[in-house]
Structure formats: C-alpha cells, structure tokens
Amino acid sequence: MIKENLAKVKASIPEGVTLVAVSKFHPAEMIAEAYEQGQRIFAESRENEFRDKVSKLPKDIIWHFIGHLQTNKVKYVVPYASMIQSIDSERLLDEVEKQMQKTDRSSIDVLLQLHVAQEETKSGFLPDEIMALLSQNCIAERWPHIRLRGVMGMASFVDDAAQWRREFGAIRACHKALLDGPLKAQGISAEQFSILSYGMSEDYPVAIEEGSNMVRVGTSIFGPRNY
C-alpha cells in the first residue's frame, strides 16, 4: 500500500517541490518500505520516537524534525536532524546554537515556523515578531551554527480552501519580507533562504499553487495514525 500511495503522491507533485514523508506514529518497518521505494527525507515530531527510529534505520536517511521542541530536548535532536523545521521561539534558536557548539557539526539547517492559522494552540512566530528579532540581531554573530533556510507553517484545520490560500499567502509574504529586509541586509542569499514549507495531506495541492516548494505529507503515504 505504501508503495502505491507514495507513487501517487510523487506523481502529483511538480518538479522543484521537495516531498518530506511524515512518519510520526508509524513503525520503523513502514519507513523502511518507503525507503525501499527511494524516499529519503522523513520527518518526525517527537524526540524519543525520533531517536529510536534514527538508531534503527539506514544512515543515509535525511531526517527533519517538525514537532514542537522543548528546550531540554534539543540536545537529543541536534546531532541527528538534518533540518529542524519547527523553530518557533528565540529561546529555541539560542538553545539549538548552544547545543550545536557541543557537536562537531559546523551548521544545522532550520526553518522558522510561522503562526498564521486561527487556532491559538498552534505555535510559531508571528510575522512581526520574527521580523523584529532578525532585524535587531546580527544573525551570524548570535547564531553562527544555524543556517536559516526558510519558513514553515500550517493552515487552519478548516475545510475551506480560500482560508488556506490566505494563510499560505501570509507565510509567503513573510518569507519575502524577511528576505528583502533583514536577511538581505545581513548578506543571506535567496538561494540559502529558499524553502517555503507548507502543505500537508489535506491541503498540499493548494499549498503548491500558493508557492510552497516543500510539502510534508504523512497520512496520504502511510495511512491514518493511531495516537
């Protein structure tokens, strides 16, 4: 089933859009199945589950972390994650920097998670907040081990494509404002800060129409999760 699902999802994604297979809550065996079909980028959202799977699965898997990350768990994620997509606070940026200094890695890729949905429970920077933070700090001095690669976000849990479009549009606009503003001013290129990560199983076709170049798809590949 995973083979067919993955083929279907891949066929629906244009060239230039990266597929991240969201494997949270699914066993390592299912990840191995997708891996056999050529999928290499997987994402997890819980630190203990993430570490367990990293230890069991092939070393050439590219792992992304996409869940809310408590600062006391950062040290367990930083050595293994190629990218942390869910950077949602200044404190977390500082902790990732601090823990990176204890590894032999020179840098880690991160995305800035933006809060654009209506649900208060979702985390992320407000566009004004991240704009102020990056304008008021020298990025290379304060976070020398962090490579800012782009933005990430989630639309509201509503069945309303027009609302998704507005929210994805807000992520895209914030990405552009950051790039044209504080990032350009600090010498960070459009090539480096190029990732727009939005779109999940329900809404990824709309997300791609609204400029996403990285989609995070779980259910459509692995089926429903048992929480």
Write out the residues near ligand PLP by the rule CB under 6 A: 22, 24, 45, 66, 154, 200-202, 216-219
User: 95: closest CA among 43, 46, 130, 142?
Assistant: 142
Nearer to ligand PLP, 137 or 206 (CB): 206
Nearer to ligand PLP, 69 or 139 (CB): 69
- C-alpha to C-alpha distance for 86 and 69, rounded to whole angstroms: 7
Nearer to ligand PLP, 66 or 93 (CB): 66
Angle between helices 2-11 and 28-36 (to 10 degrees): 50
Quote the least distance from Cβ 214 to ligand PLP, whole Å. Answer: 10
Quote the least distance from Cβ 156 to ligand PLP, whole Å. Answer: 13
Ranked by CB distance to ligand PLP, the top (closest) residue is 218
Instruction: Name the helix (H) or strand (E) containing 84.
Output: strand 83-87
CB burial string 84-115: b at 16+ within 10 A, e below: bbbbbbeebbebbbebbeeeeeeebbbbbbbb
Quote the least distance from Cβ 24 to ligand PLP, whole Å. Answer: 6
Nearer to ligand PLP, 24 or 172 (CB): 24
Quote the least distance from Cβ 221 to ligand PLP, whole Å. Answer: 8
Nearer to ligand PLP, 53 or 183 (CB): 53
Tokens of 116: 């654009």
DSSP secondary structure string for all residues of 6-20:
HHHHHHTS-TT-EEE
Quote the least distance from Cβ 200 to ligand PLP, whole Å. Answer: 4
- C-alpha to C-alpha distance for 160 and 119, rounded to whole angstroms: 14
Quote the least distance from Cβ 116 to ligand PLP, whole Å. Answer: 13
Contact status, residue 155 vs residue 117, Cβ threshold 8 Å: yes
Nearer to ligand PLP, 27 or 181 (CB): 27
